[in-house]
Amino acid sequence: MDIHAVDRYLDFVRYLGIECDNPEFLLPVSQTDRETVDELLFNAGFSRDKKFIAISPMSFAGETRLWYEDRFAILADRIIKELKTEVVFTGNRSGGMIDRISSMMTNKSLNLEGKTSLIELAHLYKQAKLLITPDSGPMHIAAAVGTPVIALFGPSAYWRTGPYGAGHTIIRTELPCSPCFLKKCSTKKCMEDISPQQVFAAVERKLTKE
């Protein structure tokens, strides 16, 4: 159980004698999907060559995996102001989370919550410089299309279910109780101890390597 879930599943086909050391995730993005996403970005004032950072703040795997709304707001503001890079929020059924984050910000961001299908989301992420997210489904979509991910991990194990492949950054606190895999926690200290400054520094390092 301590190897990544992808490799664990691939052990089945390896057992059958099939070599699969470098798996690729092929997502069927159609021309219509591309045009839909391009139109969303164009209508928001994004030129074709304008890169952005995507943030997906939601996770449906339990509240203990969620980071804090005010910290996402601080982080997004710093990215826009200090790194001169636009921020695009993505998600679905966030219960107003993204709207609340945006309301705390002093800079303008783009909210595409609920405006893309999963395949369109994959195309959107492929155009992003990187994705910032807690342990979530969008994390795996971005990794699948080769977009670097900065993943915030608390109660779950990144070595089992983190973004698959090279070039990703895991941010977590080395607490003795983590990973606990709990969906309820009285302190959420593992996520509490992740600061906006820590995540921003990781973003800055990623961008300076380009």
Domain count along the chain: 1
pLDDT digits (tens, 9 = 90+) for 78-135: 999 999 999 999 999 878 999 999 999 999 999 999 999 999 999 999 999 999 999 9
Average pLDDT, stretch 39-55?
A: 87
Neighbour tally for 69: CB within 10 Å: 19
Per this entry, what is the length of the chain? 210
In the structure, what pLDDT confidence band is assigned to residue 210 with cuts at 50, 70 and 90? low
* CATH number, position 43: 3.40.50.2000
Q: Could you tell me if residue 38 is inside a domain?
A: yes
Which domain, by its residues, includes 111? 28-208
Centre a 10 Å sphere on the Cβ of residue 147 and count the other Cβ atoms it contains: 21
Whether residue 158 is contained in a domain is answered as yes
Q: What is the pTM of this model?
A: 0.94
Assess if residue 37 is contained within a domain. Answer: yes
Strand, coil or helix: 168:
coil
pLDDT in tens, 157-179: 999 999 999 999 999 998 999 99
Q: Is the pLDDT of residue 22 over 90?
A: no
Q: Stretch 182-188: mean pLDDT, rounded? A: 91
8 Å CB contact between 191 and 153: no
E strands, 38-85, are 52-55
Buried b or exposed e, range 107-116, using 16+ CB within 10 angstroms: eebbbbbeeb
Residues 141/146/151/157 CA torsion (nearest 10 deg): 80
